[in-house]
Structure 1
Amino acid sequence: MSTTAFGDFLRFYRSRVPLTQEELAERTGLSTRAISDMERGRTLSPQFRTVQLLVRGLGLPEDEAAEFTALARASRASAAQERPGFPFAAPSSSLPPVLVELTGREVERQVLDGFAEDAASSSRLQIAVVNGAPGAGKTAIAVDAGHRLGARFADGCVFLDLRGTDTEPLSPDRAAHRLLRSFGVDERQIPSDPDDKLSLYRSQLRDRTVLLVLDNAANEAQVRPLLASSPGTLVLVTSRRTLTGLDARHRLALDLLPLDRSVALLRIVAGPERLAEETEAAVRVAELCGGLPLALLIAGHRLASRPQWTVGHLAEQLEDERRRLSVLRAGDLQVRAAFEISYHQLSPGAASLFRRLALIPGPDTSEDVATVLTDLPQEALEELADASLLGIGETPGRYTRHDLLHVFAAERLELDEDPAVAAELRTRLRHWLLDVATRAARFFDHDVPAESAGPVRDKESAARWLELELENWRGALRSAVAAKEHERVLALAQAMHWYSDMHGVGELWREVFGAGADAARWLGNARDAAEQLNYLSWALYALCGQPHEALAVHEEAAAVPIDDTVTEAWTWYYGSAIRRRVGEPEKAVWLGRRSVELFERAGYLIGENLALSLLGLMLRTAGELDEAVEVQQRSVDQHRKVGGDDELLSMLLIRLATSVAATGDVPAALELLDEAESLFREHGTTAGVARVRHHRGLLLMDAGRFDEARDQLLAALDEARLSDQRVEIMARLADLADAAGDAAQAREFRVRALAECDRYDTPAVRTIAAVLAAALG
């Protein structure tokens, strides 16, 4: 049969409708060029999916569709026979076997399926680059794709390892030679001249439709000469490098496997029965392998080859960072060796930065932090990212690394860096992180002026830096504690007081202010020790839900002999809030009044306004509603008069709104909350917005506006910081679900709320827990 028969029938059916080539292209999703090439006989082997799209687009009845499909099949067979002198190899004949079932890459498989579908309907060459860190499983997913998708291409799959990680990768000339042999070209017919060889390769590929897998590419220059134009063909390139210089239509970066998929891969290699007996140890092994498929494969092989070992024994071996990479070795499979190949291919500057990044405490970094460790950090960071030794963070300008690469970097730091230089860098980085964090926190301080320098220039940039670099400055704080750098530790803790009001979680501030209190004791400064103990007691009762532990810390602060009225006032301020939490409202009111009196005596208006506002909460709890509104209104009026900080005003407005609502004036309370939310939004304070929404939701619920209340409480739930807020929000959402007749959702919220109750030790939470438990039966 003539290879043009299919094209003739296509033209006939299209003209019969009638449709232009452009109209048929729009109906089918194929390109106009692809349709033109088929009609002219330039595309001799249309794929099955392409034919099916044409059948639907042309509206062919069943008998004509069957005939049309048969023509396409015959055209493919005839085209293969008519290629003179060079019989093509059997489809997928060059693919390596699949030794381990591909696990945990279901999403990536679907993405590659989409690439293949795009190639089938496109008239231009489709190039897809798959990149990832050493050991991420690039070859495994490419081989899997070859076996699964090769049959979709008329001439099958051709696989070639470009040996990009060898000391001498395949040259384009040698790669073309091997590909020609894969095409079935006789050795004697392959030209010796490199240019002629590449020309023959391109001509052989031009009229074929294949899945061409170029595995383990070294760089763009190695791949470019092999990218011959061939409609319907998909070239799948894998590399440790991102190959940003290639004009690739598709890109797929292989991430590390999440924990559940890591355990699944470990289970397949080691055996399900082996892991079923020690599920917790299996999870720990998977965690210590860091989601790296190569590491999980090796760990599974070690378990499978050592039936005498328990899974827990392997986990214990991996716990030691200094031994971890040595343990992750099975025969010629070595995680360390895979990393070393990429490391030794780096430029000196990038290699230096890579190992020095081991000094950074957190899992990610930025150019600002890298600048402390090396000159020209941006070029080195980009080189490391291109080599897949760093990942690109979700926030622009940030870079991530996985745990095993951190361990490897620490090894190289010890081996390749002068110990004195490493020690100096470690100290320099610790001091820089602590100094910048201290400066950044002072932009939130109402008492100490902030200094604009480095990466922190204003309150907005300071907030962003403190959030993004949290794990790094927190790690620096821990190192400073270990190094007994008491002055720096105390300076950081003091600066964080006002910032902590609306940012961070309880465990962070328990650690920061606890370290501050210890540092103050070491320095023999009683006033600073009492101050830090006050802040610690706040973190314990307000954020950690531990009022009894907070009370013990408060009593320790109250026992410190000091001659400082403001510090004493803060002590009674926090003590008032704690007494309310433990169910002592009368004592809370007495301490609140004492706090207001001391702040007034000291002439510290910020403290006086906050103390008045808090006293109002104590009075409302004690049933003194009129006085509660009076003192809280006074705090707001005084704050407005002097033009104080907007976020402080928002806190005062929320407290006033709750008391106003208790008097029955819900509209006035809602207006106060609207103003508070507007101010919080203006400063990007998400925790403050959540606090407003929480209180607004309660007011709307009490007013019978259930749908609005539900929206507000749901919006507040994820950002709620205070210890008992999440419990109260979920309990109220359960009540709203009951009112809406949604018993399943009500039960879900109650179960979640009851689980949350276990974290907190307050009378209010215990009361809610009892109600929840009763409702759940």
Structure 2
Amino acid sequence: MRVDQNRAAGEEPAFRVLGPLEVRVAESSRLSPGRQEIVLTMLVLEANRVVATNRLIDAIWDGAPPATARAQVQICVSALRNVLRGSGWADALVTRASGYLLQVPEEQVDAKLFARMTADADVLAAQGKLTAAAALLRRAIALWRGPALDGIHSRLVRARAAQLDESLLQAKETSFDLAIRLGDHRTAIGGVAALLAEHPLRERLRGQYMLALYRSGRRAEALEVYRVGRELMIEELGMEPGAELRELEAAMLSDADQLLPPRPAAVPVQARSSDDHRTPRAPHQLPADIADFTGHAELVATLRRVLLDREAPRAANVVVLAGKPGVGKSALAAHVAHRVCEHDFPDGQLYCELGGTGPSPVSPSDVLGRFLRALGVLVEGIPDSLGERAALFRHLISDRRLLVVLDDAASESQVAHLLPGNSRCAVLVTSRVRLTGLAGGRVFEVDVLEPAQAVQLLVRVIGQERVAAERAAAEALVRLVDRLPLALRIVSARLAARPTLTLSWMLERLSDEKRRLDELSHGELVVRASVALTYDSLDPQARRLLRLLSALRCATFPAWVAGVLLDVGVDRGSALLEHLVDMQMIEIAPAGAGSAPRYRFHGLLWLFARERSEVEDDGAHHAVARVVARWLELARTAHTTLYGRDGSTVLHSGVERPELPADLVRQVKEDPLAWLEFERDCLCGAVDMAADSGLDEHAWDLAVTLVALFEARLYHDDWERTHERALEAVRAAGHERGEAALLCSLGSMHLSGRRLALARELLHPALATFTRLGDAHGTAIARRNLALVDQMRGEDDSALRGYEQASREFAAVGDVVGQAHVWVQIVALELESGDIARAEQHLLHALALCPPEGSKRVENQLRFRLSELLVRQARYQHAAELLRGLLDTVRSSRDLMGQVRVLERLGAVHAVLGDRAAAAQVLREALDLAGQAAAAIPVDGIQRELEAVLGERAEREAAPPVVGAARLTVDSLVLDTLTSGR
């Protein structure tokens, strides 16, 4: 980098990135290359916006930072302040909570100044002030000194530099447009030719070069420029030039009047003079069909049928193809149009790219001007007003059978004046917006390709042999780009251009999420650019919502998160979500009948939104904190409903509890376990969000609260993964209580899998930490779990002492549910020892402890233990009735482990009562359910019981069925503890 010390103040911007990085500072200042350059560059690029420290770290170390990264960034910032101090800019570098901010006037940053000047030039051009617009553009372009940020080696910086370089190209193209419109085509030739040589695949430049040559009397050269460009595009991209370039060549071949330079003053005439007997040719403006078009066979057939429907006698058939960026709407429209135009629309086809996703959509008036010229109206005969042009258009095609194709429409208003007025015509519109407001229009959603169709697209472009040789890699590539046709065409074009490259190599290149969008570009086919067109057209609040939604870690999400992320009302958040759906940036996920709508990202759109979030957002941390807090409060509401009161059997952090909407609370309370199951993906993802954002208290609280679900549904993988993520967060923050709570909960998980040594390894340090911190509730839970380890090891005396002490500790903190859990286990020990009287006394005591507001899950545990007591008392019929009622309860709550254990005991009771058929039926059901469990459930006892019932063994190996049922107590401890292991 060069520090410029000789410019006078005010002569040029102080911070210059349009070329090598330059900053006007004091003569004694020195800026070190490397990290200081990168940090300053990032701050300048985001001038007047906070740049997160994590973003700076990523820019410097590209995803592999050292442990001292934050400290090194602080050192860089301090050094930068010293560099800037001599010129009065030291105070401009401000520290914020999440990062750093460079506060400078926009005119002091050349990139900001360039953007403002080019925007002002666009306004002048739209007002018809072409000379002023051209002069302003020349001044803007003169700010550049070479490739943006030349010499700065950082992935993030290079990505921003590429965007800046692209803006320069667009400005130069616009400048050439203005020059040609002003009649300076001869002087423009040299500049256009030089730029085209650097960027031979830019069709806009090629068209400008052709037009400048043609208007300079060099028609043959202009046509040769087209021929060379066409051959290049076919060789490099495997595709024909776009419609506009082909239309320009056709106009040059016929010396069309519209190619003449604009006349100073047009003579208004309505149409051709009466003595002009030339018959205008039928327009054939469709872009070329795609030779390797693949998929959508049913949709193509449906579209043909609708376009050719003659049942509507008064209006044209209007079909709208809507879909997300890159889904292939334009290709599908061209394919369908070619299928119907040959015989069904003999009077021709009109086609126009409306530029709806670009910064300057084509006006309906301009489109009608093009159509009228194509229909034979001289330039002088085209009316000035939009209404008159539309009326003349409808008049000229009133007796024709003509197809109109309008590609990339922005809105209904852009299309409404372009519709024919008779039923002999048809209109095919593509748009990223669902144009449901077009009278008589039918909207069809264009989705991504089916997996087999996506693989077939690869076959058609690169050949069957290459795909067959790496079939698995081909299918993985298809999944990686989410079957998006644009992405698949880019992948296949790159592979076709390099026959020696393997599909596995391409798969490896795309596997890195951080560079996937960078890899999905080839020539002018760029996924990022395609999505950016729609993104840039959104209003700022919708763009921010899209970026914030990318922070969610779940496949689908409910509508309420939008308002929470933006800190606005539910209605406003939902309206913005629907707008994003209309703009095809997110989609509504399939849901059950009557369910509230849920939303989801397409994978590549999520990557784009995440990328923009990393570049643009400085307040995402607060948004994430708000939404994680809501998920935590909802989970706590579910737990409270299940256990009768909050704080029972589970530890919580001290995070602030937000208020929840009444309708959302009502949904949770109706069926808390079902709600937890339904939102499982989002809840587990919220733990990840909290851990990644440094919200350690939220992370551990949510993780342990979710054990109510993990234990009931045997989601041991989720249990372990969420706790490990939360452990990372609490250990990084040095929060001992959260660490102890998580260790205690993981110990309970190991208990459920009978990994007693692992459980004890975690529970002892948890108990020690709780004791040292004076956390009586945590101490009670950890002690109770250690007693459970002793019980499962057969050390009943030690277990009883632990349970009794834990009961006193639970009583001291007012956790009656925790007390009830302990007495359930004490009863189990007493039953095992044969002390039936004491077991009955303590069981009644445990039932009395349950809170009046009810804890169904604790009540279920006690009823299960009561069934064992009844068996011990030889009251088999009563035990069977109790177990049948309990089975209905655990079935309705979809408690898998509970169903297996109740069925197992019920089968044993049926066997004692002599109903061997009923016993066999319920035992088989227990085995089937155990086989469905995600975690292993011991089934040896069930199998032995079933074999005995079926008479496959001569006699039992141990005790009679009643005793066998009683001995299920230790094996069924997972049911009995449920969420008590936290």
TM-score by length of 2: 0.53
Matched, 1:136 2:327: yes
- Matched to 1:192, the amino acid is I
Q: CA deviation at 1:299?
A: 0.8
Q: Cα distance 1:132–1:482, how it changes in 2: closer, same or farther (>3 A)?
A: closer
Q: Which residue of 2 aligns with 1:161?
A: 352
Residues in 1 aligned to 2:798 and 2:318: alpha-carbon distance in whole angstroms: 72
Q: Which residue of 2 aligns with 1:539?
A: 749
Residues in 2 aligned to 1:405 and 1:704: alpha-carbon distance in whole angstroms: 57
Residues in 2 aligned to 1:296 and 1:664: alpha-carbon distance in whole angstroms: 69
Q: Cα distance 1:706–1:298, how it changes in 2: closer, same or farther (>3 A)?
A: farther
Q: Cα distance 1:156–1:294, how it changes in 2: closer, same or farther (>3 A)?
A: farther
Task: Please point out which of 411, 416, 427 is paired with 2:621.
Answer: 427
- Post-superposition Cα deviations, 1:57-88, rounded to whole Å, max 9, x if no partner, equal xxxxxxxxxxxxxxxxxxxxxxxxxxxx9999
- Matched to 2:758, the amino acid is A
Matched, 1:601 2:812: no
Q: Which residue of 1 aligns with 2:632?
A: 438
Equivalences for 1:651-662 in 2 at 5 Å? 651-653=861-863
Task: Please point out which of 494, 498, 507 is paired with 2:717.
Answer: 507
Structure whose CA Rg is larger: 2
Query: Is the 1:698–1:709 Cα contact (8 Å) retained in structure 2?
Result: no
- Matched to 2:607, the amino acid is V
Query: Is the 2:700–2:730 Cα contact (8 Å) retained in structure 1?
Result: yes
Residues in 2 aligned to 1:178 and 1:598: alpha-carbon distance in whole angstroms: 89
Matched, 1:724 2:936: yes
- Matched to 1:532, the amino acid is L
Query: Is the 1:124–1:230 Cα contact (8 Å) retained in structure 2?
Result: yes
Question: Which is worse superposed, 388-397 or 628-637?
Answer: 628-637
Q: CA deviation at 1:476?
A: 5.1
Query: Is the 1:367–1:377 Cα contact (8 Å) retained in structure 2?
Result: yes
Residues in 1 aligned to 2:307 and 2:924: alpha-carbon distance in whole angstroms: 43
CA RMSD across the alignment: 5.2
Matched, 1:387 2:578: no
TM-score by length of 1: 0.65
Q: CA deviation at 1:557?
A: 0.9
Q: Which residue of 1 aligns with 2:602?
A: 402
Residues in 2 aligned to 1:475 and 1:289: alpha-carbon distance in whole angstroms: 22
Residues in 2 aligned to 1:171 and 1:615: alpha-carbon distance in whole angstroms: 81
DSSP-derived class of the 2:659 partner: coil
Q: CA deviation at 1:135?
A: 0.4
DSSP-derived class of the 1:458 partner: helix
Query: Is the 1:568–1:598 Cα contact (8 Å) retained in structure 2?
Result: no
Q: Which residue of 2 aligns with 1:610?
A: 821
- Matched to 1:723, the amino acid is A
- Post-superposition Cα deviations, 1:347-384, rounded to whole Å, max 9, x if no partner, equal 33333443444444445554544543476645544443
- Matched to 1:448, the amino acid is G
Question: Which is worse superposed, 698-707 or 600-609?
Answer: 698-707
- Post-superposition Cα deviations, 1:535-580, rounded to whole Å, max 9, x if no partner, equal 11333564xxx543x6413333135435477656644655677789
Query: Is the 1:364–1:399 Cα contact (8 Å) retained in structure 2?
Result: yes
- Post-superposition Cα deviations, 1:622-663, rounded to whole Å, max 9, x if no partner, equal 797989995996487436674522343245446656887997
Residues in 2 aligned to 1:110 and 1:699: alpha-carbon distance in whole angstroms: 58
Residues in 1 aligned to 2:404 and 2:475: alpha-carbon distance in whole angstroms: 38
Task: Please point out which of 428, 437, 448 is paired with 2:647.
Answer: 448
DSSP-derived class of the 1:392 partner: strand
Residues in 1 aligned to 2:521 and 2:843: alpha-carbon distance in whole angstroms: 69
Query: Is the 1:455–1:461 Cα contact (8 Å) retained in structure 2?
Result: no
> Where does structure 2 lack aligned partners over 5 or more consecutive residues?
1-277, 951-970, 973-982
Task: Please point out which of 518, 522, 529 is paired with 1:330.
Answer: 522
Residues in 1 aligned to 2:611 and 2:431: alpha-carbon distance in whole angstroms: 25
Q: CA deviation at 1:459?
A: 6.2
Aligned-residue identity in percent = 24
Q: CA deviation at 1:295?
A: 0.8
Q: CA deviation at 1:174?
A: 4.7
Q: Which residue of 2 aligns with 1:192?
A: 382
Q: Cα distance 1:297–1:522, how it changes in 2: closer, same or farther (>3 A)?
A: closer
Corresponding residue pairs, total: 629
Q: CA deviation at 1:224?
A: 1.7
- Matched to 1:271, the amino acid is G
Residues in 1 aligned to 2:281 and 2:750: alpha-carbon distance in whole angstroms: 74
DSSP-derived class of the 2:409 partner: coil
Residues in 1 aligned to 2:798 and 2:305: alpha-carbon distance in whole angstroms: 67
Q: Which residue of 2 aligns with 1:312?
A: 504
DSSP-derived class of the 2:581 partner: helix
Question: Which is worse superposed, 660-669 or 473-482?
Answer: 660-669
DSSP-derived class of the 1:250 partner: strand
Q: Which residue of 2 aligns with 1:372?
A: 565
Q: CA deviation at 1:137?
A: 0.9
Q: CA deviation at 1:333?
A: 1.0
Q: Which residue of 2 aligns with 1:458?
A: 665
DSSP-derived class of the 1:644 partner: coil
Equivalences for 1:61-460 in 2 at 5 Å? 94=286, 96-103=288-295, 105-106=296-297, 108-109=299-300, 112=303, 115=306, 119=309, 121-122=311-312, 125=315, 126-148=317-339, 153=344, 158=349, 160-164=351-355, 165-176=357-368, 185-187=375-377, 192-193=382-383, 194-195=386-387, 197-202=389-394, 212-228=404-420, 230-231=422-423, 235-247=427-439, 250-257=442-449, 261-362=453-554, 366-373=559-566, 377-378=573-574, 380-394=576-590, 396=596, 398-415=598-615, 417=616, 422-423=617-618, 425-443=619-637, 444-445=639-640, 446-448=645-647, 453-455=659-661, 458=665, 460=667
DSSP-derived class of the 1:236 partner: strand
Query: Is the 1:569–1:595 Cα contact (8 Å) retained in structure 2?
Result: no
Q: CA deviation at 1:461?
A: 4.3
Q: CA deviation at 1:437?
A: 2.9
Q: Which residue of 1 aligns with 2:761?
A: 555
Residues in 2 aligned to 1:356 and 1:557: alpha-carbon distance in whole angstroms: 38
Residues in 1 aligned to 2:881 and 2:585: alpha-carbon distance in whole angstroms: 52
Residues in 2 aligned to 1:239 and 1:276: alpha-carbon distance in whole angstroms: 36
Equivalences for 1:573-588 in 2 at 5 Å? 574=785, 586=794
Q: Cα distance 1:669–1:428, how it changes in 2: closer, same or farther (>3 A)?
A: farther
Query: Is the 2:547–2:610 Cα contact (8 Å) retained in structure 1?
Result: yes
Q: CA deviation at 1:329?
A: 1.1
DSSP-derived class of the 1:227 partner: coil
Query: Is the 2:294–2:453 Cα contact (8 Å) retained in structure 1?
Result: no
Q: Cα distance 1:605–1:112, how it changes in 2: closer, same or farther (>3 A)?
A: same
- Matched to 2:742, the amino acid is Q
Q: Which residue of 2 aligns with 1:649?
A: 859
> Where does structure 1 lack aligned partners over 5 or more consecutive residues?
1-84, 739-762, 765-777
- Matched to 1:278, the amino acid is E
DSSP-derived class of the 1:216 partner: strand
Equivalences for 1:673-692 in 2 at 5 Å? 673-674=884-885, 677=888, 685=893, 687-688=894-895, 692=899
Q: Which residue of 1 aligns with 2:60?
A: none
DSSP-derived class of the 1:648 partner: helix
Q: Cα distance 1:87–1:716, how it changes in 2: closer, same or farther (>3 A)?
A: farther
Residues in 2 aligned to 1:363 and 1:506: alpha-carbon distance in whole angstroms: 20
- Matched to 2:647, the amino acid is V
Residues in 1 aligned to 2:368 and 2:289: alpha-carbon distance in whole angstroms: 23
